[in-house]
Structure 1
Amino acid sequence: MYDTIAAVSIIAAFGIPGETVINNVFHINRGYDSFLEKLRSLNASERNLKLEGKYLGGQNIKRKVSAFIIRETANGKYQVLVHKCLNDAIQFFRVPGGGVDQQEEATAAARREIKEEAGLENVKYISSLGSTIYYKEFIQSYIQRYDLLFLVDGHTPDNWEHCVTGNGDDKGEIYSYEWIDIQQLHVLDPELTTHIDVIKSQYA
């Protein structure tokens, strides 16, 4: 089953006042209008405060990152690194990512998750793809997810398996990795497709 997601897509420059804007509203989860109205009622400075993972309507927002890692092939095309969990019955492709610790920058969290989930350290940060706030019914929490773009530096295998390290809930899971063409990004878990058009516009 898909998680029921209701999202406000935020194209944001991290922590820069006045540059957080409401871009799109996805009315998927009934009862989410109150969240939207609360967001619209804030002035710019209040909105930036509340969208920086602090709170909304008295509820905490979990901060997460997703790392979109690309590589350039011998023929000049770009591919994106994706994985499936071998122990997961739901076989959507996903990208490395997870929670952002307190006082941790989004880019630092993404590098940590890349190392824990894929075993990679040779990645170069390229840019932010955007940030999204939504309600995830499966964990009954608001999520603020930062989508970040990285470029793998040097040779990387075409496919491999990795046992997840760290202290997260997925510790010990086995992830199977492979590369897909930019035009195949639609095969990702729908939760992660918010900003794939940004990647397609620059690297397809």
Structure 2
Amino acid sequence: MIDRPITEEKAYAYITRKAAQTRQLLVFEHANEDVGVQVPKGTIEDGEAPHEAVVREVREESGLTDFDSVRPLSTDVWNHHEKPKAYRRHFFHLVADEPRDEWRHKVTGSGEDNGVVYSYFWIQPGTCSLARDMDDYIERILE
């Protein structure tokens, strides 16, 4: 049940690796804080379509810029656990041709994470819980 005002729209990226033998999901950990394993995501800007926002957020947060596909998966409304607000969340599946197994990236853009370093790595989907219910639609990339 949604009992809070929707204050922002967010775009979430489930990125899988094209050449992997088994399905692999790109995740990151914040280099300076223990906030859990996450996927790239961020706020949709005014006038921006969700599919445009997810590509921009992935570029800013991971440095990845080239994708074989960007496919919508689901849209929902999620109550924030610690704050009295809710987000409209748009989930996408992106496929990347990325050879690196892990890397660090300094976030760019104008958001609050600008300059923060994220440590990226690949996991098998479903092998660890993602922070803040980010894995709610993970089964859809396995189909």
State if a TM-score over 0.5 links the two structures.
yes
Counterpart Cα distance in 2 of 1:108 and 1:192:
19
| Cα deviations by residue, 1:40-73 (Å, 9 ceiling, x for unpaired) | xxxxxxxxxxxxxxxx8xx453100111100134
Q: Secondary structure at the match of 1:187?
A: coil
Which residue of structure 1 lines up, in the alignment, with residue 109 of structure 2? Answer: 166
Q: Which runs of 4+ in 1 moved over 4 A?
A: none
Counterpart Cα distance in 2 of 1:103 and 1:129:
21
In structure 2, stretches of 5+ residues that fail to align are none
Pairwise CA distance, 1:139:
3.7
**TM-score using structure 1 length:** 0.64
Compare CA radii of gyration and give the structure with the larger one. 1
Instruction: Name the count of aligned residue pairs.
Output: 143
Counterpart Cα distance in 2 of 1:168 and 1:94:
17
Of structures 1 and 2, the one scoring higher in RCO (CA 8 A, sep 6+) is: 2
| Cα deviations by residue, 1:94-114 (Å, 9 ceiling, x for unpaired) | 011100011100010001101
Which residue of structure 1 lines up, in the alignment, with residue 76 of structure 2? Answer: 132
Which amino acid in 2 is paired with 1:81? L
Q: Percent identity?
A: 27
**TM-score using structure 2 length:** 0.89
Q: RMSD between aligned alpha carbons?
A: 1.9
CA contact 1:73–1:79 (8 Å) conserved in 2: no
- Structure 1 residue 105 corresponds to structure 2 residue 33: no
Counterpart Cα distance in 2 of 1:60 and 1:196:
23
Give the 5 Å matches for 1:42-191.
Answer: 59-74=5-20, 76-90=21-35, 92-152=36-96, 154-184=97-127, 186-191=128-133
In structure 1, stretches of 5+ residues that fail to align are 1-7, 9-31, 36-55
